[in-house]
Amino acid sequence: MAALNRKALVHADQEIGVIRPELHSHFAEHVGSCVYGGIWVGKNSPVPNVNGFRRAAVDYVRELGVPVLRWPGGCFADGYHWRDGIGPAAKRPKTVNKHWGGYTEDNSFGSHEFVEFCRLIGAEPYFAANVGSGSPEEMRDWIEYCNQPSGTTLAEERAANGSREPFNVRYWGVGNELWGCGGHFTAQRAAEEYRRFAACARTVGGLEPYLIGCGPDGNNVQWTRGFMDTLAGYHMDGYSMHFYSTGTLPPLQYTAEAMYAQLNSFPRLEQGIIQQRNLLDEHEPNRRIGLLLDEWGVWDRMTAEDEHRNGRLWQQGSMRSAVAAGLGLNIFNRQADKLSMCNIAQIVNVLQAVLITDGPEGRNCVRTTSYYAFMLFKPHRSKISVHVETDGSEQQTLPDLSLSASRQGGELVATLVNPRHDADMQVDCEVRGATPRQSRAEILYDPDINAHNSFEDPNRVVIRPHPVAFENGRIRVALPAMSVATVTLQVS
């Protein structure tokens, strides 16, 4: 194992912006076993549950803290008609999940169940409305059904269906991936659709909906130019881009080469955030349009066996995924002034999930490596991101030391990622603009890039305390190969 020395610098007095907790948000789609068999097992299930929600999943994600949860898709959203998912479950229509395998969707998990789950875990709901096969009136009625306190037929219908209290859903996506599964629109047509739908979406029950237009696949600048030109200053609260870090191998069979190819997408993600932000700023310099990255994460090669056993897009996480999460979350900290929300895809079982369960009949629920990576970033929430420098560069062929830091009052938090499988790093980090007084650190690491938490060994990769030294305004921390570490300093 090689030993590398790395220098880093934290400018504790050079502020970037608040790290909105929303940058640590999640996404739940009706695909594979994310909802059915993951979050939702049904009230009569032998799996321990709270009102039909898998108890272990509720407990784990509540502890993690999910600021916002996006639902019901994804591609599923543009085929979803919300009326199918309300009323007595036994009477709900059975439909076909056309995007994800053509299996029968019994609609037993609908708006009421989703909002109840959000309340159980303390998340704010984010609904993605149907543009591809829906209408502006359908979205308008969904907003009224959710948010009108009383006095209208839709509010009474919600009350009759079990919730006199309005759902108070603020975030509304106007379609999903309109350049693809959402309807194969051109950017110009997508912006026209946005205007048509947004014109119908009014403030209900005193709650102004936060409307999110459909942004590009990755950093497609043509899409954003076309969309924003056609929008022509029409009001839009948020604009969502999607960026997946695709990989070529099944989740637990990665080679170092394939891992580096995947991890090297992260500098492109950072570049994409900067460029998309600039494009929005050209059209609306006061930054009243929030930039969302409402789908991101590693997307590995699926195996037919995993998908057959556990559902579409089922993906186990590994130490590689945790490192990827660390690289992504460090970017969001560093670009905190440019982002309003980021949603990892997805919360349970699907893609870069924070929990996996063993399929619809299973009783097990395991916290993945990404769960713990997110935990290591929790102390950054609501702090002010500050400038950092590293001498390792993320721009070269091999990913190198990644760092972000944030401060609030007397607490300074820094997260460091060593994405190299073949090198330990000794990091010498100078802190300017504050004097460290006390320090502690926690680490997640495993030298095996394919190490993971399984039903047999659920605690293989977990957070452990880690030594950190400080002296004369510098901290010294050893970062083993494949590690994510958070250092918390009391500063004056």
Looking at the Cβ atoms of 118 and 347, the one nearer to ligand AHR is 347
Q: How far is the CB of 314 from ligand AHR (least distance, A)?
A: 12
Q: Which of residues 405-464 bind ligand AHR (CB under 6 A)?
A: none
| Residue nearer to ligand AHR on the CB measure, 74 or 328 | 74
Closest approach of ligand AHR to the CB of residue 185, in Å: 14
Question: Nearest distance from residue 242's CB to ligand AHR, in Å?
Answer: 6
* CB of 211 vs ligand AHR, minimal distance in Å: 18
* Contact flag: residue 345 with ligand AHR (CB under 6 A): yes
Give dist(CA 97, CA 36) in Å, integer: 12
How many residues make contact with ligand AHR (CB under 6 A)? Answer: 10
What tokens appear for 52 in the block? 């039909």
Alpha carbon distances (Å) from 243 to 246, 270, 404: 9, 10, 20
The residue (of 177 and 424) whose beta carbon lies closer to ligand AHR is: 177
CB 230 within 8 A of CB 192: yes
Candidates 37, 74, 136, 226: give the one binding ligand AHR (CB under 6 A). Answer: 74
Pick the closer one to ligand AHR by CB: 97 or 418. Answer: 97
Closest-CA residue to 202 (of 238, 172, 240, 163) = 172
* Contact letters for ligand AHR, residues 165-194 (x by CB under 6 A): -----------xx-----------------
Q: Which of 32, 37, 52, 73 binds ligand AHR (CB under 6 A)?
A: 73
Q: Pick between residue 125 and residue 436 the one whose CB is nearest to ligand AHR.
A: 125
- Does residue 328 touch ligand AHR according to CB under 6 A? no
Q: How far is the C-alpha of 57 from the C-alpha of 356, rounded, in Å?
A: 9
Q: Of 272-301, which residues contact ligand AHR (CB under 6 A)? A: 295
CB-nearest residue to ligand AHR: 74
Q: Which of 75, 388, 417, 485 binds ligand AHR (CB under 6 A)?
A: 75
Task: Report the residue number, 16 or 31, with the smaller CB distance to ligand AHR.
Answer: 31
Radius of gyration of the chain (CA): 22
Which residue is listed with tokens 């300017």?
Answer: 432
Query: Segment near ligand AHR (CB under 6 A), from 257-265, 343-351, 427-435, 440-448?
Result: 343-351
Binding range to ligand AHR, per CB under 6 A, among 45-53, 67-75, 162-170, 409-417: 67-75
CB of 127 to ligand AHR, least distance (A): 14
Between residues 148 and 176, which has the closer beta carbon with respect to ligand AHR? 176
Q: Tell the smallest beta-carbon distance from residue 177 to ligand AHR (Å).
A: 5
Q: Does 394 bind ligand AHR (CB under 6 A)?
A: no
Asked if 177 is an active-site residue, the reply is yes
Determine whether 295 is an active site residue. Answer: yes
Pairing of strands 104-105, 95-96: antiparallel
Enumerate residues 6+ apart whose C-beta is below 8 A from 195: 231, 234
- Please state at what angle helix 319-334 crosses helix 256-263, rounded to 10 degrees: 20
Catalytically annotated residue among 105, 113, 295, 442: 295
Using the contact rule CB under 6 A, the part of the chain among 36-44, 205-213, 345-353, 469-477 near ligand AHR is 345-353
Looking at residue 304, its amino acid is A
Q: How far is the CB of 452 from ligand AHR (least distance, A)?
A: 20
Q: Identify which of 375, 365, 367, 372 has the alpha carbon closest to the alpha carbon of residue 40.
A: 365
Name the catalytic one among 105, 113, 116, 177: 177
Q: How far is the CB of 176 from ligand AHR (least distance, A)?
A: 5
Residues 88-127 that bind ligand AHR (CB under 6 A): none
CA dihedral 223, 224, 227, 229 (to 10 degrees): -120
C-beta closer to ligand AHR: residue 11 or 312: 312
* Residue among 292 and 491 whose Cβ is closer to ligand AHR: 292
Decide: is 29 part of the binding site for ligand AHR (CB under 6 A). yes
Nearest distance in Å: CB 81, ligand AHR = 17
Q: Which residues are catalytic?
A: 177, 295
Q: Which residues of this protein are in contact with ligand AHR, per CB under 6 A?
A: 29, 73-75, 176-177, 295, 345-346, 351
